[in-house]
Amino acid sequence: MNKHINSSLQTFSIPDGETFDGTWPFKANYSEAPGFRMHYIDEGDGQPILALHGEPTWGYLFRHLIGALSPKYRVIVPDHMGFGKSETPQERKYLLQDHIDNLEQLVLDLDLRDITLVMHDFGGPMGMGLAIRHPDRIKRIISTNGPTPLGQAGLGDALMKNGATSPWFSWIFKAFKQGTLEQVLGQLDYNMLSTLKLNGFENNNLITPTWLYAYSAHFKSPEYTLGAIGWAKGFAEGTHKFEAVNTATAEKLSKKPALAIWGMADQTLQAAHFLPLFREAFPEGRIHRLPEVGHYSLEDAPEEIAIQIEAFLEKS
């Protein structure tokens, strides 16, 4: 067993067999390769699609996409450390570079190749970090309201401008300065709905007791919120580090088939700042804009996103 795994520190919130009233009917799988028990689902056969969630969601975000794509493809959806059905080790750090390390170990453990990345929110820089480390394992790149950092010249300026007007990032910096960030995010079992709304979804019909419980279940007490706190705090402190990329690797990745599907009502990651970065990274990539769709585009428009992704997979 990996030396980082300590049974006294294994903290899980969601039982293996929890289906959230049948809305998550997928078998739980676990890898200990990252140094903790990392949950992932692995549905279907064929070319692997690796779907990466962000903050403060988990694999549940991709439930509709799993159902749509798994009849033709192998869909792998991990829960990052401190989220969903994965462990929340108390001694680990929860910065971007740590999550990239974890993802890399999972991919190597499963020996995934010809990967199609589907990335949302911080799953974007995480997936791009994996791609930079292992460009030969990546076949396609799909962003669904997820940043695609690849050493772009305008990256820093875009992040600064987005952060200045984004309600979510504005709150992070304010709460950190006031010393309330950890207290608020430490109570995600109570304030999950307000957190999701601050980040943004447009379809209020989504809000049911089952849906809300699915997103808040992991965070049943403060010790389970280290993942959510770590991601937000890393921005406030400036301690997240994008994966460094050399010119040859950036050029190699820039030629991969790439698609950005963007909810244009996203105020957390605003299209005006992030779609130009996608275009800079992938000059031949396609962009599909979704009007009146928010940051959690996979909740607001799951059917349209599945249609766009399936068409892209068939043509590339």
CA-CA distance, 164 to 120, in Å (whole number)? 21
Per-residue confidence (pLDDT) for residue 175, from 0 to 100: 97
Residue 9 banded pLDDT, cuts 50, 70, 90: very low
Per-residue confidence (pLDDT) for residue 13, from 0 to 100: 80
Per-residue confidence (pLDDT) for residue 284, from 0 to 100: 97
CB 243 within 8 A of CB 134: no
Q: What is the pLDDT of residues 149-165, one digit of tens each?
A: 999 999 999 999 999 99
Beta partners for 116? 49, 140
Per-residue confidence (pLDDT) for residue 1, from 0 to 100: 31
Residue 283 banded pLDDT, cuts 50, 70, 90: very high
CA-CA distance, 175 to 168, in Å (whole number)? 10
CA-CA distance, 157 to 134, in Å (whole number)? 27
- Residue for token digits 């190597």? 108
Is the pLDDT score of 250 beyond 50?
A: yes
Any alpha helices (H) in 88-166, and if so which ranges?
Answer: 96-110, 123-133, 155-165
CB 65 within 8 A of CB 309: yes
Stated pTM of the model: 0.95
Axis-axis angle for helices 155-165, 271-281 (nearest 10)? 160
Q: What is the pLDDT of residues 303-313, one digit of tens each?
A: 999 999 999 99
Q: Classify residue 160 as exposed, middle or buried by CB count within 10 Å of its CB (0-12, 13-18, 19+).
A: exposed
DSSP state of 80: P
Q: What is the pLDDT of residues 46-62, one digit of tens each?
A: 999 999 999 999 999 99
**CA distances to 25, 78, 82, 153, 300 from 92, in Å:** 30, 18, 10, 32, 33
